[in-house]
């Protein structure tokens, strides 16, 4: 089984640059307090690290 992480959106994309909005959409998030379980890959980690003020990692699963 692949490792996964649960990501929660904690910030609004309002008044944020288009690049940050696109990163949120790429993660599958678009509204406050939504969560997604994503595969723990370097690309997903990079996207999360680009917008740490908008998302948080809730849980890491094996």
CATH number at residue 15: 3.30.1390.20
Domain containing residue 46: 4-61
Q: What pTM was computed for the model?
A: 0.91
Distance of alpha carbon 13 from alpha carbon 17, whole angstroms? 8
Instruction: Domain count for the chain, please give it.
Output: 1
Identify the pLDDT of residue 1.
Answer: 64
User: How would you write the pLDDT of the chain (62 residues) with one tens digit per residue?
Assistant: 689 999 999 999 999 999 999 999 999 999 999 999 999 999 999 999 999 999 999 999 98
Identify the pLDDT of residue 2.
Answer: 87
Read out DSSP for 20-57?
Answer: HHHHHHHTT--STT-EEEEE--HHHHHHHHH-TTTEEE
The residues near 7 (Cβ < 8 Å, ≥ 6 apart) are 27, 29, 35, 36, 37, 38, 48, 55, 56, 57, 58
């Amino acid at each position: 089984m692949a490792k996964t992480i649960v990501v929660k959106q904690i910030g609004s994309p309002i008044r944020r640059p288009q690049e940050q909005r696109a990163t949120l959409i790429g993660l599958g998030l678009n509204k406050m307090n939504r969560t997604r379980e994503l595969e723990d890959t370097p690309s997903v980690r990079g996207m999360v690290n680009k917008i740490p003020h908008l998302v948080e990692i809730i849980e890491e699963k094996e």
